[in-house]
Amino acid sequence: AGIRLATATRAQIGGAPAMLARLFLAELLPANYRQIFYMDGDITIHGSLMPLFDYNLPPGSLLAANDPMTFALEDRDRHGENIRRHFETIGMTHDQASNYFNSGTIMADRVTWMEIGSAAWATWQTRQHWQFSDQDVLNLNAIARHIPLSLAWNFPIYMRNARVEDTIRPRVVHYMSKPKPWDGAFPPWTSAIHRIYLDTARQFPEIAAWHRPMPVRRRLRYHAQQRYKRMLESITWGLSKKRCRILDYERRRAVLSQAA
């Protein structure tokens, strides 16, 4: 079938920033598409997506994996306090916060996407600053529709340090925060992942200009940062209650989980 590329102007998305374009997908896509599966650009696919496409999503629902913040929500340290404060600031109850989803991968039917996207855009315009931008406003308008999806379909790369990867067996890996895999081979991913982007730039010269080598000083800083984070997260995620909460989510709540 191939891949069809389409562009949109800022005027077509109501003057919104590019990161909010996902809110307008129901208006931008050709009329023959009835189901929408959105993925962020900092994602790699490591298996068939057919189980996801075959899932019988109830009308009016939204399928998305819980955000990693939900697994730290009950922690009594500064990180947990900051997370709870954030949810309180945007007006979420504790029960709603525990179901807060990550917007890196989302599936919904077109009508539902139109309703949620329109409401989220209206909410976004009510404040000058949202800490998590589109993700906050999507959750505020869709949390009641949310069906928790297994992290196999939106696996935060740093959870590799939490010793849950073998259980979850991710098919979609999400490279949250910086650096990104196109920047270089930084832990916890390998040179094989970075090579995908190098090979793509060589294969399609028209996009090579967007792939700029990282300055040596920044590269060295990221290598040091990522090694430190790997050590820290192996303790704070891999040897803590957060790991238990992740596995409990996979076994008890998440649909399309391979850990059930």
Q: pLDDT of 118-135, one tens digit each?
A: 999 999 999 989 999 899
Range of the domain at 164: 156-236
Q: What is the DSSP string of the chain?
A: ---------GGGGTT--GGGGGGGHHHHS-TT--EEEEE-SSEEE-S--HHHHHS-PPTT-EEEEBPGGGGSTT--SHHHHHHHHHHHHTT--HHHHTT-B-TTEEEEEHHHHHHHHHHHHHHHTT-S--TTHHHHHHHHHHGGGEEEEPGGGSEEGGGGGGT-HHHH--SEEE--SSS-TTT---TTS-HHHHHHHHHHHHH-HHHHTT-PPPPHHHHHHHHHHHHHHHHHHHHHTTTSHHHHHHHHHHHHT-BT-S--
Instruction: Establish if 218 belongs to a structural domain.
Output: yes
Q: pLDDT of 206-240, one tens digit each?
A: 888 888 889 999 999 999 999 999 999 999 999 99
Instruction: Establish if 131 belongs to a structural domain.
Output: no
pLDDT of residue 260: 60
Instruction: Establish if 169 belongs to a structural domain.
Output: yes
Instruction: Establish if 166 belongs to a structural domain.
Output: yes
pLDDT of residue 53: 95
Instruction: Establish if 122 belongs to a structural domain.
Output: no
Q: What is the mean pLDDT of residues 148-163?
A: 98
Q: pLDDT of 29-57, one tens digit each?
A: 999 999 999 999 999 999 999 999 999 99
Q: pLDDT of 59-117, one tens digit each?
A: 999 999 999 999 999 999 999 999 999 999 999 999 999 999 999 999 999 999 999 99
Instruction: Establish if 45 belongs to a structural domain.
Output: no
Instruction: Establish if 78 belongs to a structural domain.
Output: no
On average, the pLDDT of the chain sits at 95
Instruction: Establish if 243 belongs to a structural domain.
Output: no
User: How many folded domains does the chain comprise?
Assistant: 1
